[in-house]
Amino acid sequence: MKQIPWESNIGARERAERLFNELDLGSVKSAFELTQRVAEVVGKPVRIEKHDNLVLSATTALTVDFPDYAAVLLRAGDKFYYQLRALHHEFGHLLFGHPGCPGELIDSELRGMFAGGRVYGRMLLTEHESSPLLSEHEHEAEAEAMADLLTRALLRPEYLNDERVFG
């Protein structure tokens, strides 16, 4: 099986931990507070939207950065934890300030939904697919590492005692 390039990117984990600590994201106590903190960092409101649209069938989450707000789109049919993880991944892109791609470069079905915005997408990859662009691997690695840190920070306090007991 082909290894996904961001699975073993140690440098990305270190960069994510450094940014996580610089922004004091470990002190965030709720999903609302995290969303507010991300909005502060990007300098505009962040909207979270769930969509049933079939054009999101190959994308678990998508961020569209408009001039006056950023929208994170999640697939409505996904399980809650999967939506949460995808949301935190997209937050990772926003927190790192990763560049997006112009909407006209993506699927024609999506273009109408995102006119005037820059798109950041989390695509489903099979074991035989990955982006040929090294910078995309770095950005995905950083976003995944940040997602891990954000998810653990929000969920861990509730389950910390269980982790102590069960390892």
Tens place of pLDDT per residue across the chain (167 aa): 344 444 556 788 999 999 999 999 999 989 999 999 999 999 999 999 998 766 666 678 888 888 899 999 898 888 998 899 999 999 999 999 987 665 444 555 566 666 666 665 544 444 444 444 445 578 888 999 999 999 989 887 665 566 566 65
SS3 28: coil
For residue 9, what pLDDT is reported?
64
For residue 18, what pLDDT is reported?
95
Query: b/e map of 108-145 (b: 16 or more CB within 10 Å)?
Result: eebeebbeebbbbbbeeeeeeebeeeeebbbbbbbbbb
For residue 122, what pLDDT is reported?
45
For residue 11, what pLDDT is reported?
87
pTM assigned to the model = 0.78
SS3 117: coil
* Residue type at position 88: H
Beta bridge partners of 97: none
Residues 6+ apart with CB under 8 A from 108: none
How far is the C-alpha of 137 from the C-alpha of 141, rounded, in Å?
6
* E strand or H helix that includes residue 77: none
* Residue type at position 91: F
Do residues 150 and 25 lie in contact, with contact meaning Cβ atoms separated by under 8 Å?
A: yes
